[in-house]
Amino acid sequence: MINRFQSTNPPPRSISKMPKKVRVSKRSILAIGLAATISPVSALVALEPSVVEKQATRVSPTSTTGCSSTTTPGFQWDTKACSESYTASWVDPIGNWANPPKVNINVAGVDLVATVDTGSTGLVASMSLFPNHNFTLKTPTSIFYTSSHWLEEGYEEWIDMTFGPYGMKTKILVKDHEVCCPTFDPATDGERCPTSKIVDGCICSKNCPSSSSTSSGTSTVASRKLAARATVAAVAYMGIGFGRGDPPIENPFMDIVTYNGNPISDSFCQGYAITNTGLTLGLNKQSTDGFNWTPLEQNNTSGMRDWDTPPMEYTVDESPNTEGTLLVDTGIANSYFSSTPSYTSQSTFNVSFPGDTGKFTVTYDMSEGNTNSPNPMQPIAFGASSKAGYINSGRKLLNCFDVAYDPVGGNFGYRYLNDTEAANCSDYVTINF
């Protein structure tokens, strides 16, 4: 879980329809990433964050099925015009979701292409993207990826951003350095990796859960280590996820102030939809047509409204149903499944998630492998999570489903695509309605 921005500084002005309360802390932002197989990467390449929930949330004990259907009597677009809506096409081809989705945004007057990540919350961009912007540089912060041991170093700032016709004032982590720091400890090291801990490079073996499974350069020459603290390549990363442990104020899409230069009005229905063709911000009857919705359990993150990730249940081979939560994560093409019940390379998973009146069940057959499987939702790799009742589907699930998030009513939607976007969806999806 990335606790991405923690600060004692209040926001400069009200920037959302929801009450705001900024957390009081200056500790490092620690990304508790799940273990993953990665390729060698230099200190100049920014890794895609791989984040997980702090704790899986169980389906309500009052549910008789484990996968309860929605009880929401109506949606905001049932009673409002919801005309303030915008759809952006993906900048680059997603290649059956092998590639991460990207959109055009403007930050501090600079046009950027940002990766859209539903598995994290918060805007991250390299300082080198803003040569003419004067940042305050008053609040050092960092992100440490435990799965790869890379430490992103930077500063927390408030900044203006636009996405199509929408204008927002949001927080950003402005990165200025990236280092390989396998033994980084935020409790003792603060926001920067001590020079004595910097190694020449991180090459993680499979899972890479600790420094013992990391190969690094052997040179101890101080100049080599200092050179590792290099300015990162120009990248932008936009986390729009929910239920990540961060307050909604960290999500740029929850910080909207204007539409076409005018104050946001009641014609804006907060929320977004993600499809094979692009991203819609501002929900309405047209963009939500055909979705099946499941209610989300509300949580309290630093005194602010947020929702847990959607419920699901799954079986491994012949095991009984296990209840938990599902994260549809556009930031990764691999998947993570709880290590219990145990499974092998020949196991079959059946993952069910509810809609309005029933549920969808998705089948994963690990014996089909990761590259040649006819299943369009099959991840490029299966990873194990020590967290009970937790599945991160990665983005390949989106070959067969569009998804939508309604933060006002607390609903998550699935729109089954059958075989229209990818072949063989119907062979791996069972519909029980």
- Of 189, 192, 200, residue with least CA distance to 175: 192
As a whole number of angstroms, the distance between CA 385 and CA 387 comes to 5
Architecture of the domain delimited by 272-432: Beta Barrel (2.40)
As a whole number of angstroms, the distance between CA 129 and CA 376 comes to 36
pLDDT tens over the chain, length 433 residues: 333 333 333 333 333 333 232 222 333 333 333 323 222 222 222 333 333 332 222 223 233 334 333 334 579 999 899 999 999 999 999 989 999 999 999 999 999 999 999 988 889 899 999 999 999 999 998 877 655 677 889 999 999 999 999 999 999 989 998 889 989 998 999 999 999 999 887 754 334 333 333 333 333 333 333 444 555 556 788 999 999 877 788 899 999 999 999 999 999 999 999 999 999 999 999 999 999 999 999 887 555 668 999 999 999 999 999 999 999 999 889 998 999 999 999 999 999 999 988 899 999 999 998 888 999 999 999 988 888 899 999 999 999 999 999 999 999 999 999 999 999 999 999 999 8
For residue 121, the cross-strand partners are: 240
- Of 123, 155, 137, 156, residue with least CA distance to 49: 123
pLDDT for residue 371: 80
Domain chopping of the chain, boundaries = 29-57+86-263, 272-432
Cα 308 to chain centroid distance, Å, stands at 13
pLDDT for residue 146: 57
Q: Is 341 helix (H, G, I), strand (E, B) or coil?
A: coil
pLDDT for residue 154: 93
As a whole number of angstroms, the distance between CA 133 and CA 138 comes to 15
The residue assigned the tokens 């101890």 is 220
As a whole number of angstroms, the distance between CA 202 and CA 212 comes to 12
User: Which pair of structure tokens corresponds to residue 160?
Assistant: 């203006």
**Top-level CATH class of 29-57+86-263?**
mainly beta
Domain 29-57+86-263 and domain 272-432, same fold? Reply is: yes
Cα 160 to chain centroid distance, Å, stands at 21
Task: Provide the 8-state DSSP code for 1.
Answer: -
Predicted TM-score (pTM) of the model is 0.77
* H/E element, 223: helix 222-228
The conformational region for residue 137 under phi > 0 = left, psi -120 to 50 = alpha, else beta, is left
CB 293 within 8 A of CB 300: no
* H/E element, 241: none
pLDDT for residue 304: 60
Looking from the CA of 375 toward its CB, the CA atoms found within 13 Å total 20
The residue assigned the tokens 């935020």 is 186
As a whole number of angstroms, the distance between CA 194 and CA 172 comes to 24
CA torsion 225-229-234-239 (nearest 10°) is: 110
As a whole number of angstroms, the distance between CA 196 and CA 168 comes to 41
Burial class (CB in 10 A: 0-12, 13-18, 19+), 50: buried
The residue assigned the tokens 């290099």 is 230
